[in-house]
Structures are given as structure tokens and as C-alpha cells.
Structure 1
Amino acid sequence: MTRRVVLSLLVPLALGACGTAATPAPTGTQAVAEIQAGSSFNETDVMFLQMLSYHQKQGLEMTSTAATRATSPQLKTLAEAVRATEADELTMIQGWLTQWGKPTTADPAAGLHADHGGLPATGPAEIKALTTVSPSSFDTAFLNLFLAHQHNAIEMAHLETTNGSNKEAKAFANRVRESRQGEVRQMLKLMNG
């Protein structure tokens, strides 16, 4: 399945009907990465995108592992869909930050992020552990880790919708919140199914 096809199939799940006139929901012919942000922004907008960039890179690493190691076909499909969406979102995020003349990553000093919940909480050791956990334990280990990871994205999105000023970034944060809540619901069903 091509990346465009995966994105077009995932759009209803990940983005719902959240598009606005300023930030339309992507279709099979428009990737998220093609959405442009306005030039007016504040520090919260920048920090949200920088933190989410870091978060997306972690998500891509975890979902790449799940796409090859998961035993549940539904989990593999979910991981591949999330990976396609987040790769496209990451391109958009980095494009916006570059357009604004800002670094595409957040400063890793933990003390700088205390006021907005800190950097994403998933650590490199936890992500690496997904590559070595036994095959029979992988699905549960991944779901537990990725549930917490996506919940962190929901918290970051809330911070942006509360304190951000760029309307495209706020609309994107709303889509992030809604799509990750949908993913959390799907993962909980997989855990309980």
C-alpha cells in the first residue's frame, strides 16, 4: 500500500471532521505536510511544535518496531497507519518551525520545560526495550508504552489550545488531541479484546 493510500484511509480515523477554512482536513490529494501556517505565533506555538517534533520522532521509532514485531494484525495495521500520519505531521511541523526561523527541536534541558509539562516522558531505554522484549510479550509491552506516549501528545495539544496564538497550530493541536484519543480508544480495545 502506498503512503498516499495509507494516509487517505487513515484521515477519517486520525483527523475526523476537524478541518477549518484556514486549515482544511487533508484528503487523499492533500497531505498534512502541505498545510501552511500563518506568520503570527507565540512562544507556546513554537514550544508545542518543537516538543511534538521530538515526540513524533519517538513515535516513528516505536511504530516502526511494532509494524515488524507485533503479533496482532490489528496492532500492525494501527502502527503502520500511525507511522504514516506522524511522518507527514513531522514534515509539516518542521516546515512551520523553519518558516518561523525557529529550531526544529526543543532544547533538551529538562528545567526549561517544567512550566509546560516537560519533554515527552518516553525514554530511549523504554523504546529500545521494545526491540528485545520476547515476541509473546511484545504487543502488551508496546500497547502499555504507546498508550502513555499518546496520552502525552494529548496533554501537549491541550497546552497549545489553551495558550497558543497561531490559529493553524491550534487547529492542528485539536486534530492531534482528537486523533490520539481515537488511537487510545483503539489500543484499549486491543488490550481488552
Structure 2
Amino acid sequence: MTEPEQRAVTATRAVVVAVAVVAVLLLGAAVGLLIKLPGADTSSTPAADSVDVGFAQDMAVHHLQGVTMANEARNRTADPAIRQLAFDIQSTQLEQVGRMKGWLTLWGHPEQSVDGTHMKWMSASSHAHGASAAAGVTGLMPGMATSAELAKLRALTGVDFDVYFLQLMLRHHQGGAPMAEYGAAHAGQPVVRTLADNMLKSQKSEGEYMKQLLTERGAAPLTS
């Protein structure tokens, strides 16, 4: 394939991925706006400082970084197992982000915390991974990759890329688990509790699979 043909294929692939991303987000938002279906608690709108609103705002932000890393893996890995995992994470988390943003729109709340802090909706406990959730976490939430780590991921190739992607994504899943656990236990809306519980179960399963993939590649999870 000539260089112009390769550029054309890359450009076409980027357009297809972009269209798919928009479609999945719209689907998730549509599902989120159907909160008035039977089984949803519509007797009151969750308050700005509620678990429901805080969970939706913070988990959407957390998820979107996972989607970013999954996009990198889908576009760059040559490993079918990594590509399939990345596709599964991207599609699932995009749909969930759309759903949470749909709820926030329905409830009349902004998509992100207005004061730039996170996890104030959680009680001050070990859920905050050493930070005070009552006071709020600024910057990155637990498990999220730094700008330097994302830059390092983009600079790697081959098996090195695959391993670092797995390490970052595994840590990302583990860091978000306490938020999902708290949301599943304390959210006021049944649909929020159900989504949080589903996240917890699916990400635990994916986490075990990523550990297996790391072992097969002679690597281990990140220690911090």
C-alpha cells in the first residue's frame, strides 16, 4: 500500500471511530433520559450534593479517561485480544457516560462539579484512598493516569504499549471501584444503584482478565 493510500485508510478509520463515538454517546443519553420508566424513583429530583448527582458527574469524568486510553489501544495495538478488550471498554463506558449525562440533564444539574472537586458525595473514609472525600478531591480521582503517564503510553509501541495500556487500565478500573461500590449502596435512585452495581461487577471481571493478560506477557500490575 502506498503512503497516500495508508493516509486515506487512517483518515477513514478516524471518521468511522468518531461517528461511532457520537452514536454510542447519543444512545447512552437517550437511555438516561428514560429514567421515568417503571421502576425509577421520580418522586423527587436528586439534590446537587446527593450521591446520585455526584456519582454521575465524577464517574462520567473517570470513564472518559478510560475511553481515551481504550481509543489509543484500538488504533495502535496489533494484538487481537488487546484490541477486543479496548473495544469492549470503549463501547461500554461511552454508553454509560451518555446515560449519566442524560440523567444530569433531566435533573437540571451540570455535567461536572461546579467547584472542581470530586467525591464530596462520599463519606470521609477509606473509599477516598487516603484523601478526605468529605473535603473533596481536587485534580485526578483515584486510578486516573497523569498527563505524563498518558504521554508515555502514546510513545510506546508493540508489546511495551500493550503491557502499559493493561497496567494503566487495570489501575483505572481499580481506582473507580470504590465510587461504584458507594454509589451502588447509597444512591437514592434505583437506576443509579443498578448502574453502579453493574459497573462494579463488569470492571471486576475485566480487571481479572487484564491481570491474566499481563501474566501471559510476563508483566505485573503497577504498584502505585
Tell me, yes or no, if the aligned pair for 1:157 and 1:176 is still in contact at 8 Å.
yes
Residue from 63, 70, 78 that aligns with 2:77: 70
Residue from 115, 129, 140 that aligns with 2:133: 115
- Which segments of structure 1 move beyond 6 Å, counting only runs of 4 or more? none
Tell me, yes or no, if the aligned pair for 1:161 and 1:173 is still in contact at 8 Å.
yes
| Counterpart-to-counterpart distance in 1, 2:105 and 2:212 | 38
Deviation at 1:145, TM superposition (A): 0.6
Listed one character per residue, the Cα deviations across residues 55-75 of structure 1 (whole Å, up to 9, x for unaligned) are 111011000001122232101
| Counterpart-to-counterpart distance in 1, 2:119 and 2:180 | 18
| Number of residue pairs the alignment of both structures matches | 166
2:183 matches 1:188 = no
**Residue matched to 2:93:** 86
2:178 matches 1:155 = yes
**Residue matched to 2:104:** 97
**Residue matched to 1:17:** none
Bigger Cα displacement from structure 2, 33-42 vs 83-92: 33-42
Bigger Cα displacement from structure 2, 162-171 vs 118-127: 118-127
**TM-score where L is the length of structure 1:** 0.76
Residue from 125, 142, 150 that aligns with 2:165: 142
Tell me, yes or no, if the aligned pair for 1:157 and 1:173 is still in contact at 8 Å.
yes
| Counterpart-to-counterpart distance in 2, 1:111 and 1:68 | 31
**Residue matched to 2:9:** none
Deviation at 1:111, TM superposition (A): 7.5
Gaps of 5+ in 2: 1-15, 21-26, 121-131, 217-224
Deviation at 1:180, TM superposition (A): 0.5
Deviation at 1:136, TM superposition (A): 3.3
Deviation at 1:110, TM superposition (A): 4.4
What RMSD over aligned residues (CA atoms) do the two structures have, in Å? Answer: 2.5
Q: Secondary structure at the match of 1:161?
A: helix
**Residue matched to 1:25:** none
**TM-score where L is the length of structure 2:** 0.66
Q: Which entry has the higher C-alpha Rg, 1 or 2?
A: 2
Q: Secondary structure at the match of 1:102?
A: coil
Q: Secondary structure at the match of 1:131?
A: helix
Tell me, yes or no, if the aligned pair for 2:67 and 2:93 is still in contact at 8 Å.
yes
Q: Secondary structure at the match of 1:148?
A: helix
**Residue matched to 1:175:** 198
Deviation at 1:162, TM superposition (A): 2.5
Deviation at 1:32, TM superposition (A): 5.1
Q: Quick one: percent identity of the two aligned structures?
A: 25
Listed one character per residue, the Cα deviations across residues 13-64 of structure 1 (whole Å, up to 9, x for unaligned) are xxxxxxxxxxxxxxxxxx6542533434351111111011101110110000
Gaps of 5+ in 1: 7-30
Distance 1:148 1:107, change over 3 A: farther
| Counterpart-to-counterpart distance in 2, 1:125 and 1:108 | 25
